[in-house]
Amino acid sequence: MECMNKKESFDLSNNLLQGPIPSSLLACHKLKHLDLSHNTFSSTIPPQLGELNELRRLMLNKNRYQGSIPVEIFNAINIEVLMLQGNRLSGSIPTQVGILSKLKQMSLSHNSFKGKIPSEIEELTNLELVQFHNNRLSGLAPQMKGLTGENSYITDCGVPSFLLQSRVDCPTCTTCCNSLQQCQKRASSKYSVWVTSIVFCGLVTPVAISFLMVFLLWLKKKGSISVPSLRRSSYSIYNESSVYCLILSNNPWAVMIYFLVAIIQALLYSLFLMTSDIDNEKTDSVYTMRCSDNSLVCNNDNDTDLYGLLLFFVVTLIFLGPDFVDSLFQLEKAVTTHELTFFISGSIQMFLCSLALYTTWKYNQALAGTNTELIVNTVILLFINDIDETFLKIIKNAVPSWVAKRYEDIERNLEVRCTLNQKERTGLFTRRMSSNRFIGAVRSANDEESS
């Protein structure tokens, strides 16, 4: 093979060529594009490639090169694309890679490199794509915050990582792969699921809604706006079939039960949140992406679509709607009556509703691969939302008289804390007398007292 001095591009890809790279080809000092990919070239990468000063693109991927990367190759400082994936290369990644200031794309995936990824890569400000997955690398990966594309920064930071001494710690990676050669896109959020759930669900949502109600009420008093009446009686701001109505009672045991069930419900959601976190060693996340050595683009096997997402939101609204409305009216009542109990109750219920929605969404992001899995996971998770009602049923079956007295406490407290008009008082009496649940509990209480 003879070299033509003015030859700038040489492409022998996708053949069955084998053996070492011909020395005559290495003498082509005007080469800018050298593509020997998808062949069976073996032996080691010749260090003479570093003498090709004009070289821009070096494609040696999908061959059988062995040994380490010769440091001399980085003398070709004009390289913009370096593709070495899909070989049998070993050793460590040379720190001299930081010399390639013009480097835009580099893939060293599907080899047997060990050690740490050189921190000098952080100095390569022109990088658009860098892939290190399916190697034996470990330690802290370079911080590449400018890479945001799905396939732009990939390492072995996924679980399980049984083929590695320790998985790569890569906070800025866009995609993580595991020892099963499966990959998954990392969450784009800068904050952990714990920070987001506590701050957004527990603080921002109820406080923001309360401030909005205060602001609207202030505008209404000034006559600036006309706020439509919510038209809901004061006595109906709670759900008497839920254990969360017990906070409106003065009984300390009832209040303790309220907080106990709320904590249990929050802990159950936190369990699913923890297992939906891709960075957690015990994650249940399903890795649906395949990042092969044949392409720089990963294939995603996730089949969820807009139709599944629409059904997800419909099911979620059906399950969470009643509790969200109750919490909304309790916060409204807290604003108008200045009662702390209503604010606490409304805030906790809104927190649990928001946490249920957030957990269901994050868990489905991690596990749902089809529309049916999306709905099944949603229904199972939202079943936790009914724990409060089930718990009250247990207490009613065990001590019906105690529950009946709590109902009376609640309705007396509402009469004191809320200014009820005559129509509401009549409605309260009618509701009390017509409630099968209430009448049954009172009869049980009377039977116990008579015996």
Q: Is the pLDDT of residue 303 over 80?
A: yes
- DSSP state letter for 61: -
**Cα–Cα distance between 304 and 373 in angstroms, integer?**
9
Q: Report which of residues 430 and 414 the model is more confident about.
A: 414
Contact present, 356 and 384 (Cβ < 8 Å): yes
For 313-343, how does the pLDDT look when each residue is reduced to its tens digit (9 = 90+)? 999 999 998 888 888 888 888 888 888 888 8
**Cα–Cα distance between 272 and 353 in angstroms, integer?**
15
Q: Is the pLDDT of residue 407 over 70?
A: yes
Q: Is the pLDDT of residue 35 over 80?
A: yes
Q: What 3-state class would DSSP assign to 288?
A: coil
Q: Is the pLDDT of residue 351 over 50?
A: yes
329-367 CB burial, b ≥16 within 10 A, e <16: bbbbbbbbeebebbbbbbbbbbbbbbbbbbbbbbbbbbb
Q: What percent of the chain has pLDDT over 70?
A: 85
| Identity of the amino acid at 391 | F
Distances (CA, A) of 366 to 163, 186, 374: 23, 10, 10
Contact present, 240 and 407 (Cβ < 8 Å): yes
At 243 the pLDDT is 93
Distances (CA, A) of 101 to 53, 80, 85, 125, 131: 14, 8, 20, 7, 17
From the list 145, 70, 60, 146, the residue with the least C-alpha distance to 108 is: 60
Q: How are beta strands 175-177 and 183-185 bridged, if at all? A: antiparallel
Residue 113 bridge partners (DSSP)? 91
At 11 the pLDDT is 92
Average pLDDT estimate for 337-355 = 87
At 87 the pLDDT is 96
Cα-trace Rg, the chain: 32
For 310-319, how does the pLDDT look when each residue is reduced to its tens digit (9 = 90+)? 999 999 999 9
Which of 92-101, 191-200, 438-447 is predicted with the least confidence, judged by mean pLDDT? 438-447
Average pLDDT estimate for 364-375 = 91
Q: Report which of residues 22 and 212 the model is more confident about.
A: 22
Q: Report which of residues 224 and 432 the model is more confident about.
A: 224
C-beta atoms surrounding 148 within 10 Å: 11
Angle at Cα 329 formed by Cα 328 and Cα 334, nearest 5°? 100
Which of 58-72, 86-100, 239-253 is predicted with the least confidence, judged by mean pLDDT? 239-253
Q: Is the pLDDT of residue 433 over 80?
A: no
Average pLDDT estimate for 276-302 = 87
Average pLDDT across the chain, whole number: 85
From the list 103, 238, 107, the residue with the least C-alpha distance to 175 is: 107
At 421 the pLDDT is 45
Handedness of CA 103, 109, 114, 115 (dihedral sign): positive
At 427 the pLDDT is 52
Q: Tokens 């916060």 map to which residue? A: 331
At 31 the pLDDT is 92
Domains and CATH numbers, the chain: 9-185 (3.80.10.10), 194-287+300-450 (no CATH)
For 132-153, how does the pLDDT look when each residue is reduced to its tens digit (9 = 90+)? 999 999 999 999 988 888 899 9
Contact present, 45 and 88 (Cβ < 8 Å): no
Q: What 3-state class would DSSP assign to 151?
A: coil
- DSSP state letter for 198: I
Number of H helices, E strands in the chain: 11, 17
Write the DSSP assignment of 65-118 as a string of letters. Answer: -EEPPPGGGGG-TT--EEE--SSEEEEPPPGGGGG-TT--EEE--SSEEEEPPP
C-beta atoms surrounding 311 within 10 Å: 15
Q: Is the pLDDT of residue 372 over 60?
A: yes
**Cα–Cα distance between 135 and 68 in angstroms, integer?**
13
At 337 the pLDDT is 81
At 238 the pLDDT is 79
For 163-186, how does the pLDDT look when each residue is reduced to its tens digit (9 = 90+)? 888 899 998 999 999 999 999 988
| Residue 230 pLDDT grade (very low, low, confident, very high; cuts 50, 70, 90) | low
Q: Is the pLDDT of residue 88 over 90?
A: yes
Q: Residues 6 or more apart from 215 whose CB is under 8 A from it? A: none
Which of 88-97, 134-143, 183-192 is predicted with the least confidence, judged by mean pLDDT? 183-192
**Cα–Cα distance between 250 and 292 in angstroms, integer?**
64
- CA neighbours closer than 13 Å in the CB half-sphere of residue 98: 10
At 191 the pLDDT is 60
Q: How are beta strands 289-290 and 299-300 bridged, if at all? A: antiparallel
Which of 33-42, 109-118, 231-240 is predicted with the least confidence, judged by mean pLDDT? 231-240
Which of 56-70, 268-282, 286-300, 370-384 is predicted with the least confidence, judged by mean pLDDT? 268-282
**Whole-structure pTM over 0.85, yes or no?**
no
